[in-house]
A = this chain, B = another copy of it.
Amino acid sequence: MNNAIDLNSDLGEGFGMWPLTDDDALLDIVTSANVACGFHAGDPSVLRKVTERAAERGVVIGAQVGYRDLAGFGRRFIDMDPHELVNDVIYQIGALEGFAKIAGTRVRYVKPHGALYNAVVHHAEQAAAVVDAVKRYDPELPILGLPGSELLRQTEAEGLTGVQEAFADRAYTPEGRLVSRRLPGAVVHEPGEVVRRSVRMATEGTVVATDGSSVAAAPRSLCVHGDTAGAVEIARSVRQGLVDAGVELRAFA
C-alpha cells in the first residue's frame, strides 16, 4: 500500500506549427513531465516553454526519448544499431538538459517513448542501449518503464534505479500484464472507472484483472494521457480522486 504516488504524462509533443499536448493543463495535474526531446516530437521552442513552466510549478522533468521519426511520431519500431541508439538517447537527454539548465533545474529521469517503450519490454539489445546511455550520462538518473520489462530488469542489473509505472486506463491480465491494444477492452474509457482503478492501485496496490481477480499493481508512478481534451479531463479526475482518497502526489525523482 502506497502513501504516495507520482503522476506522469507525456508533454511537449507539438512540433513547429502543430500543437498536440495541452502542456499547461497537464502541468497543473502531473508531478512528473515526460518531455519530448525533438526526435519524435518537440521542437526547441516547445522544449523551452515546457521546461520553464515545469520548473516554475515544481513539476519534475524527465527526458522522453524516442526513435528519430517525426513522420511516425516515434510509434514505429526501428531496427537500429544499438550502438547508434545509445548515442541517439544521449543526444536527446543532452538537448533537453540544456533547457532544464536554463530553467534552473535538471533532467531527473528518462522514459522511452512509443515504439521504443514497447521495444524495450522485450528487445534486449535496445533495452541495453537505453540503459547504457543513461549509465554513461548520469547513473543517478532513474529510468521509468513497464514492470517486468527487459528495460527495468537491465536497469537494475546495471545498478541503476528502475521505476515502475502503471496505466490507470489499461486492462490487465490475471498475470498482471497489460492486455494488448489489439484486443477488445484493452483500454478503459469510462472516467469514473479510470479514477477508481487509480485509487485502488495507489491505496491497495492492486488492480482488477480481466477475469475479475485482483492482481498486484503497486506502481511508483501512474501514467495519464493528455493528447485530447477528454484525456486531460480524465487526468484531472484521477488527480482529484487520488487527493480525495488521501494519497500524496509526489514525484519519484
On A, residues with C-beta under 8 Å from B are: 13-20, 38, 41, 43-45, 47-48, 68-73, 75-81, 83-84, 86-88, 90-99, 101-102, 115, 136-137
Is the beta-carbon distance between A98 and B90 smaller than 8 angstroms?
yes
CB of A5, distance to nearest CB on chain B (Å):
28
Apart from A69-B78, A90-B98, what are 9 other A-B pairs with CB-CB below 8 Å?
A: A17-B41, A44-B87, A44-B90, A44-B91, A76-B81, A77-B78, A78-B78, A79-B115, A102-B136
Q: How far is the CA of A127 from the CA of B35 in the complex (A)?
A: 29
User: From residue A23, how far is it (CB to closest CB) to chain B in Å?
Assistant: 15
Residue in B19, B76, B97 whose CB lies within 8 Å of A80: B76
Contact B137 A101 (CB under 8 A): yes
Inter-chain contact A91/B84, CB cutoff 8 Å = no
Name the residue on B nearest A86 (C-beta): B48
Could you tell me the distance in whole angstroms from the C-beta of A12 to the nearest C-beta in chain B? 12
Give this chain's copy count.
4
Minimum CB–CB distance for A94 against chain B, Å = 2
Within 8 Å by CB of A87, from B45, B80, B136, lies B45
Contact: A98 with B137, CB < 8 Å? yes
A115 CA to B17 CA in the complex, in Å?
14
Nearest to A71 among chain B residues (CB) is B16
Question: Which of A47, A94, A101 has most chain B Cβ within 10 Å?
Answer: A94
Pick from B16, B48, B81, B91: contact of A95, CB below 8 A: B91
Which of B17, B79, B83 makes the CB contact (< 8 A) with A45?
A: B83
CB distance from A14 to the nearest CB of B (A): 7
